[in-house]
Amino acid sequence: MLSFVVFGASGDLAKKKIYPALFALYYEGRLPKNFMIYGYARSSMTTEEFRNKIAESLTCRIDWSKAGESDCAAKSEEFFARCVYVPGQYDQAKDFKALDALMCENERAVSSVKRVFYLSIPPSIFVPVAQNAARECQSKTGDTRVIVEKPFGRDLTSSRELTAALAQDLSEEQTYRIDHYLGKELIENLTVMRFSNIMFQPLWNRNYIRNVQINFSENFGTEGRGGYFDNYGIIRDIMQNHLLQILALFAMEEPASLDAEDIRNEKVKVIRCMRPIEMDNVALGQYKGRETDGKKYPAYLDDETVPKGSLCPTFAAMALFIDNARWDGVPFLLKAGKALHKRQAEIRVQFRHAPGNLYGERQGRVEHVTNELVIRIQPDEAIYLRINNKVPGLGQRLDQTILDLQYKNAYGQVELPDAYERLILDVINGDKRLFIRNDELEAAWKLFTPLLDKIEEQKIAPELYPYGSRGPIGAHYLASRFNVRWGDTE
Ligand SMILES: NC(=O)C1=CN([C@@H]2O[C@H](COP(=O)(O)OP(=O)(O)OC[C@H]3O[C@@H](n4cnc5c(N)ncnc54)[C@H](OP(=O)(O)O)[C@@H]3O)[C@@H](O)[C@H]2O)C=CC1
Ligand SMILES: O=C1O[C@H](COP(=O)(O)O)[C@@H](O)[C@H](O)[C@H]1O
């Protein structure tokens, strides 16, 4: 049996991601037959109200090949019947004891129970909640696993403190540090693409790859989350975790097996080979307000929860280097920003140009004729390869065209699972491949903390860019220093 507890059950993440993911897993028959979901928070709410809250964000995944057989309403009712709300304080052992008693009551007929605790709460209360849950609510008959949301600290010191505090009551084996980018379909596919296709294997190194770009952009600002965001900034919010994890999977050596430890060993190795980040290789930005056609877009500083005059970056671009034999000298350009012109996340691999000059004039400028592999993580998941091709017809003119794998064409209309679905299922199954291990986290903070300290100590002012734009000019200067253009802005 599975008892799944969501701490912070009244919150945003629980509603937006966790309940829909749990329901999707139930709908697809992926949860154990016998399961219960407990929502725990301080807010006063009845179980009925809790179920209504969950209902607001549930959708049924329609498999069009079975259209007409959808039994969404019935499935939702069955699911709600397994959801119970338990009000309680986060620092009161007696409230956790009451939760434990209720779970024991519901579990009394079964011999083995797995308990999963999801800490969907602000980081300031991770430790008391994890401690109380571990001390009062561990399963007596099976495994107990705890999902910890990001941020895992805000620098090396605080991350170590958090790790040490959690480790007092939970083993590393029980701790699942979630980075939801690792649960995205195209990121899961990255290792498959690299290690199962012989055509990519020989090219994946400094001899053939000129630069790698990992871009994240959102077309909305911090709206409503400014209070949280200002304490972290875009580097901690997106780069130190999501983009670095993507980079590690992209650049790591082939693991000995697909076991979690083998994959994480390779990821940590590559992060540890990264060169300290130089301030000269970083461009920072912050969005300012804009008015277009009578519509006003706010500046970051307009958010009332953001301190006046904050220098917090909402955009960053940086060049990173991996000092190992495979990647020596190849710039990995990372870029992340809020309030930009589009919402997109992708990896761009720009290859070197084909040697020689056989097609000379017919080819145009060199940077326009190199191959580029794009892995679009979202939206509209796709993998495409820009190749040179002869323009059909008489003559010998060359053109660039695209070998295009669009997921929605190739894989029909089956909706891709949300990252949280995959990751929650992995926790239930005890698969730690897609979760961040302690030493990976340590290596990631070792890489970013000196840079973050410098930015804060030197009070480096970000360059302002208009809401909805392509970001600050500084990012283009940065790329041009490495003779590179950002592929996503063309
Ligand atoms: N929201 C998102 O999109 C994402 C969130 N995360 C992470 O997930 C976790 C949860 O995020 P989110 O749901 O947005 O958080 P919320 O701010 O919505 O908080 C969740 C719940 O925690 C309780 N809570 C809030 N503030 C405090 C406080 N100061 N002291 C005690 N309890 C408090 C509230 O419940 P009550 O008062 O009822 O107890 C609230 O409903 C965070 O660690 C966040 O960083 C990560 C990625 C994305
Ligand atoms: O972790 C975070 O991720 C979201 C973006 O996630 P996505 O899956 O919608 O791309 C980001 O908005 C948020 O600031 C950050 O904390």
Binding site membership of 13 for ligand 1 (Cβ less than 6 Å): yes
* Domain range annotation of the chain: 2-149, 182-417+437-489
Q: How many Cβ atoms are within 10 Å of 24's Cβ, its own excluded?
A: 22
Q: CATH code for 182-417+437-489? A: 3.30.360.10
Q: Is 311 left (phi over 0), alpha (psi -120 to 50) or beta?
A: alpha
pLDDT of 155-171, one tens digit each? 999 999 999 999 999 99
Q: Which tokens sit at 238? A: 């997106």
Ligand 1 binding pocket includes 221 (Cβ within 6 Å): no
Both structure tokens of 385:
């390869």
**Model pLDDT, residue 366:** 52
d(CA 172, CA 158): 17
- φ and ψ of 324, to 5 deg: -135, 175
Identify the nearest ligand to the CA of 241 by its number. 2
Give yes or no for residue 140 having a pLDDT over 90.
yes
Q: What are phi and psi of 20, to 5 degrees?
A: -60, -35
Whether 242 sits among the annotated catalytic residues: the reply is yes
What percentage of the chain has pLDDT greater than the value 90?
A: 86
Q: Separation of 110 CA from ligand 2 center, angstroms?
A: 38
Sign of dihedral through CA atoms 82, 86, 90, 95?
negative
How many whole angstroms from 304 Cα to the centroid of ligand 1? 19
Cβ atoms within 10 Å, residue 346:
20
CA distance 340 to 216: 10
CB atoms within 10 A of CB 360: 8
From 188, 220, 237, 244, give the residue whose CB has the most ligand 2 atoms within 8 Å, as the site to mutate: 237
225 φ/ψ angles, rounded to the nearest 5 degrees: -110, 15
Q: Using a 6 Å cutoff on CB, does residue 488 contact ligand 2?
A: no
Q: For residue 236, how far is its CA from the centre of ligand 2 (angstroms)?
A: 12
Q: What is the pLDDT of residue 490?
A: 61
Comparing 2-149 with 182-417+437-489, is the CATH topology the same? Answer: no
- Cβ of 149 closer than 6 Å to ligand 1, yes or no, is yes
Catalytic choice (180, 242, 341, 353): 242
CA of 393 to the centre of ligand 2 (A): 47
Say which ligand is closest to the CA of 10.
1
Long-range CB pairs of 228-231, under 8 A, 24+ apart, other chains included: 228/122, 229/306, 229/312, 229/314, 230/305, 230/306, 230/307, 230/310, 230/312, 231/154
Most informative mutation of 17, 228, 242 for ligand 2 (most atoms within 8 A of CB): 242
Ligand 2 centroid – CA 28 distance (Å): 25
Residue-wise pLDDT tens digits, 232-249: 999 999 999 999 999 999
Ligand 2 proximity of 237 Cβ (cutoff 6 Å):
yes
Query: Is the model's pLDDT at 69 over the cut of 60?
Result: no
Q: Which of 181, 191, 200 is nearest to 242 (CA)?
A: 181
Higher pLDDT, 329 or 74: 329
pLDDT bin (cut points 50, 70, 90) of residue 132 is: very high
State pLDDT tens for residues 344-357.
999 999 999 888 87
Which of 18, 180, 216, when mutated, tests ligand 2's pocket best, judged by the most ligand atoms within 8 Å of its CB? 180
CATH of 2-149, one of 3.40.50.20, 3.40.50.720, 3.40.50.10860, 3.40.430.10: 3.40.50.720
- Contact criterion met (CB below 8 Å) for 49 and 10: no
For 471, left (φ over 0), alpha (ψ -120 to 50), or beta? left
Note the ligand closest to the C-alpha atom of 89. Answer: 1
Q: Assess: ipTM above 0.90.
A: yes
Which ligand 2 atom sits nearest the alpha carbon of residue 216? 10
CB atoms within 10 A of CB 233: 25
Q: Please tell me the number of the ligand nearest to residue 178's CA.
A: 1
pLDDT of residue 475: 98
Ligand 2 pocket mutation, candidates 187, 218, 239, criterion most atoms within 8 A of CB: 218
Q: How far away, in angstroms, is 364 Cα from ligand 2 center?
A: 39
Per-residue pLDDT, 62:
58
Task: Identify residue 490 by its one-letter amino acid code.
Answer: E
- The structure's pTM equals 0.95
Atom of ligand 2 nearest to the CA of 151: 16
Distance 250 CA to ligand 2 centre (A): 20
First to last CA, the chain: 52
DSSP label at residue 404:
E
